[in-house]
Structure 1
Amino acid sequence: MPTARVTADPSFVVGPINRRLFGSFIEHMGRAVYTGIYEPEHPTADEEGFRQDVIELVKELGVTGIRYPGGNFVSGFHWRDGIGPKDQRPRRLSLAWRATETNQVGLHEFASWVQKVDGELMYAVNLGTADTRDSLQVVEYANIPKGSTLADERIANGRTSPFGIKMWYLGNEMDGPWQLGHSPADDYAKKASRTAKALRQLDPQVELVASGSSHPTMPTFPYWDRVVLEHTYDDVDYISCHGYYEEKNGDLGSFLAAPVKMDRYLDTVIATADYVKAAKRSEKTLNISFDEWNVWYLGDNLRQFPRQADRFYRTDEIEGNDWPEAPRLAEDVYSVADAVVVGGLLISLLRHADRVTSASMSMLVNVIAPITTEPGGPAWRQTTYYPFAVTSRLAAGVALDVRVESGQYSTEELGSVPLVDAVATHDAEGGRAAVFLVNRSLAEEITVTVNVGALGNLSLLESHMISDPDVYARNTKDVPDRVRLKSNPTASLANGVLTVTLPPVSWTAVALSKPKA
């Protein structure tokens, strides 16, 4: 049986774990909003029309910040369409997803829902078809207590206190030709800089995210990021990353190594930001907002969506002038292998906790999501739900720069990569630690020893695992619990050494804590 060794030492810290790392994303796309979080006719709907079964699943998932309302949707959206009396709100054609937007859920409703799930609302402004004035207006409406026309309009619309939104995204994927209002890097950067300066004059407490490259495969990456930061470095707090991963042509080995691709992407963005920092002789270090990440089968056998090159697909057929409400779109059904990759991507994010201080798993419900619903019917957990929920709950304190010694395997896409990936977290004040591990081997178990003696006198608290003989097993409406979280019975701790056997294609989390007095 192959073996691997991991060393976790509190002297080697990556950085503190920001709770925003466990964020998510709701866009007005497909059924994420309508029949996802909002379905007034559903048996579990509350007085505002929100599905309470979904609320409970979201709370259990441990989501923190939630990015809204897009995504591509935001570049054609006017913020005023989602405020005021519902029966007076306009019905609009959403060009991003060729659908009809009813605007029955807008800023007020979504803010209320975020409060129900104990989250933080993070808002994207339209820098595609709108301008700096529109961004100023929505921030004034949302964040100024009273005394201006827009603040008083918010009060008249039923919200006496400000929404107090801290995180604002300056557009979305503006490097992409599919984006409404797409422009060259220099043009977007100047607009983003003007907007950022104006927003800080209005509300000095805002945190701002510049739109970085929408994927590392973009032909303009990392040129786009450099140009944007040369204009906005002094104006913003973050630059964004977006990354989606999928198994292609049956190459499971390369797919399981997707976190290596995320590592390389992040390292390049960080190097680019630090180059601009050096060129500007700045003392400020810019952070990363990985505000869209997930497994997404963009290349699956689905009908290509108009205008979106080879990136976006929908599952229903649209003909002629049909602009449906909440069509089924990008409703991937995830497997065990997908869940293992999601667990690995979370390891990658934790490994960069010093610079990645905000991240959003894209999305939250129905659209490439860990939660799926049926209109009028049940809601259930996809396989990818479990590694996110466990990591969000157990990862605390700081991420440690662990040393992993393991065998390698060859991949067609990425060359030689480690069979075992791992990260550890340590909360000295709380007296707890956690180790997260992935076995990428397609056929062999691997026994891993983790030296945790330097973390203090700890005992084994709990272990969790995603593994199945069928790596393509999935949860569906008819069999919602085919794949479940289970304990890893091989985990043991003795003399400061954690020993655990990892099944092939598996993700494992082990929690440790100080013994109770």
Structure 2
Amino acid sequence: MLSASVTIDPAFVVGPVRPRTFGSFVEHLGRCVYTGLHDPEHPTADADGFRGDVVDLTRELGVTTVRYPGGNFVSGYRWEDGIGPVDQRPRRLDLAWHSTDPNLVGVDEFMRWCAKAGVEPMMAVNLGTRGVQEALDLLEYTNVPGGTAWSDRRRANGAADPYKVKMWCLGNEMDGPWQVGHKTAHEYGRLAAETARAMRMIDPDLELVVCGSSGSQMPTFGDWERVVLSESYEHVDHVSAHAYYWEEDGDLASFLASSVDMDHFVDAVASTADAVRAAGKHDKRINISFDEWNVWYQKRAESRPPSGDDWPVAPVLLEDRYNVADAVVVGNLLISLLRHTDRVHAASLAQLVNVIAPIMTEPGGRAWRQTTFHPFALTARYAAGEVLRLAVDAPVQETAKFGDVPVLDAVATHDPETGGVVVFAVNRSLTDDLALDLDLRGFPGLRVAEAVTLSNPDHTWSATADDATSVLPQPNTTAKVADDRAQVTLPPVSWSVVRLEKI
């Protein structure tokens, strides 16, 4: 058995646990919206056509914010198509995913869904094929109480009160040549600054996210952030980060170390933003909205969009079926996001339903939880108070992509109000149990309230509609506390949470 030790001290605070860390993402892509969120013929559908079972699972997942309507989709989207009488809305080609959007769900429907699910909407504006005026029109529609053309249209469409959307993304992945309206860093940075300046003339208290790189593998990574922020620094609050390229490709050890890559990504973006801050002699600090992240098997057939004359509505796209190892990695990526809570102020697991998602549905039928649902839900439920920086001593495991990587990765949160401590940990070892010792002398008088572990001897097990419960997080009975030290054994390829409470 391997062994590792962690020292936890209340003095080493990284920052607060931010509710927006537990955001998600809904895009008009594949079956995310249609037959995912919206399925009027479903037995649980409400008067708006939204599936009640998906709303319930969204609440159980602990999602706090939802980014909408894209994604690549937003760069060709005309938001006006999705308001007013549904039977009068136009069908449009979606160039991003070679599909047809019937516009049955638009701004008003999405806002009503957010209210049902208890989540904060996070809107993206189209800076691909559109620009400043269209962004202002949408902001007027959503946030102005009344007395103007667009706000009165909203009221006429049934929403007397403004939606008061606080957080806005200024476009999406504008560094990517796949993006409709792709721009150079100078072009986009200038447009983003102009849009942000104008939007703040309506509401100076908005939180605005400028597009960072769509992956650290992009040839423009780093320089893109530098140029864009040099143009827009004073007008925005956050820079986005997107990353999907973690997938198991026969190298399980490297896959389990994916959070090392996320750590490097966040550190690089934060360093670049701080360099622009110093060069421009700015007072404020730009933080990170990691508003697209997940495991995504991009080489699989389900990730290839339709082609030719085939422009279907809600095709099966990006419907990855996640296994136990995928769930361990998702839990580890959440550890990384929490560890960087001083700079990562928001994050969005992409996506919520059917499309690389923790929730899956059948059209008109069942809904179920994928393996990745569980570490997200438990982290969202139990992370509270402050994130603590840990002192970790652990053996290393060799990986082809990242070199020697500690077999243990962990983060802890401390709730000053209750005195409780929660430890989230992964054992990346492929074969060995890990005996974990937690030094709790900074928190005398704790006991184990609960310890659960997600693992399985077959790390390739995946949930299905027929069997979503054979492998679930299970009580870890090895957890114990004595003399202000806690011990717990973590099986290989596992994610665990240990909750400690005051005696």
Q: State the match for 2:57 in structure 1.
A: 57
Residue 142 of structure 1 aligns with an amino acid whose one-letter code is T
Say whether the 8 Å CA contact 2:247–2:296 is kept in structure 1.
no
Residue 337 of structure 1 aligns with an amino acid whose one-letter code is A
Say whether the 8 Å CA contact 2:6–2:390 is kept in structure 1.
yes
Q: State the match for 2:168 in structure 1.
A: 168
Secondary structure of 1:213 counterpart? coil
Q: Describe how 1:183-332 pairs up with structure 2 within 5 A.
A: 183-300=183-300, 302=301, 313-314=304-305, 318=306, 320-332=308-320
* Cα deviation code 1:390-441 (max 9, x no counterpart): 0000101111000110000111111111010000001111332200000000
Quick one: which of 388, 393, 398 aligns to 1:405? Answer: 393
Q: State the match for 2:29 in structure 1.
A: 29
* Cα deviation code 1:81-102 (max 9, x no counterpart): 1111111111101010111101
The percentage of counterpart residues that share the same residue type is 55
1:471 and 2:459 correspond: yes
Q: State the match for 1:353 in structure 2.
A: 341
Q: State the match for 1:71 in structure 2.
A: 71
Secondary structure of 2:177 counterpart? coil
RMSD: 1.0
Secondary structure of 1:462 counterpart? strand
CA distance in 2, matches of 1:488, 1:369: 27
1:481 and 2:469 correspond: yes
Q: State the match for 2:497 in structure 1.
A: 509
CA distance in 2, matches of 1:10, 1:334: 36
Q: State the match for 1:309 in structure 2.
A: none
Please, what TM-score do these two structures have when normalized by structure 2?
0.99
CA distance in 1, matches of 2:320, 2:143: 36
CA distance in 2, matches of 1:54, 1:512: 32
**How far is 1:252 from its partner?**
0.3
**How far is 1:116 from its partner?**
0.9
* Cα deviation code 1:455-487 (max 9, x no counterpart): 342221111211000000000122222321211
Say whether the 8 Å CA contact 2:31–2:317 is kept in structure 1.
yes
**How far is 1:248 from its partner?**
4.4
CA distance in 2, matches of 1:319, 1:421: 42
CA distance in 1, matches of 2:494, 2:140: 48
Q: State the match for 2:152 in structure 1.
A: 152
Greater shift, 65-74 or 490-499, is seen at 490-499
Residue 410 of structure 1 aligns with an amino acid whose one-letter code is E
CA distance in 2, matches of 1:326, 1:448: 46
CA distance in 1, matches of 2:308, 2:191: 36
Greater shift, 25-34 or 430-439, is seen at 430-439
Say whether the 8 Å CA contact 1:245–1:255 is kept in structure 2.
no
Say whether the 8 Å CA contact 2:98–2:307 is kept in structure 1.
no
CA distance in 1, matches of 2:443, 2:29: 45
CA distance in 1, matches of 2:393, 2:245: 26
Secondary structure of 2:310 counterpart? coil
Q: State the match for 2:8 in structure 1.
A: 8
CA distance in 2, matches of 1:327, 1:333: 16
**How far is 1:246 from its partner?**
3.1
Residue 81 of structure 1 aligns with an amino acid whose one-letter code is D
CA distance in 1, matches of 2:78, 2:155: 20
The count of corresponding residues between Structure 1 and Structure 2 is 503
CA distance in 2, matches of 1:456, 1:174: 51
Give 5+ residue unaligned stretches, structure 2.
Answer: none
CA distance in 2, matches of 1:197, 1:430: 43
**How far is 1:280 from its partner?**
1.0
Residue 82 of structure 1 aligns with an amino acid whose one-letter code is G
Say whether the 8 Å CA contact 1:17–1:357 is kept in structure 2.
no
Q: State the match for 1:343 in structure 2.
A: 331
**How far is 1:329 from its partner?**
0.2
Secondary structure of 2:438 counterpart? strand
Q: State the match for 1:88 in structure 2.
A: 88
Say whether the 8 Å CA contact 1:100–1:324 is kept in structure 2.
yes
Say whether the 8 Å CA contact 2:12–2:388 is kept in structure 1.
yes
CA distance in 1, matches of 2:470, 2:229: 46
CA distance in 1, matches of 2:36, 2:170: 26
Residue 168 of structure 2 aligns with an amino acid whose one-letter code is W
**How far is 1:149 from its partner?**
1.1
Q: State the match for 1:308 in structure 2.
A: none
CA distance in 2, matches of 1:334, 1:246: 13
Q: Describe how 1:88-107 pairs up with structure 2 within 5 A.
A: 88-107=88-107
Give 5+ residue unaligned stretches, structure 1.
Answer: 304-311
Q: Describe how 1:419-430 pairs up with structure 2 within 5 A.
A: 419-430=407-418
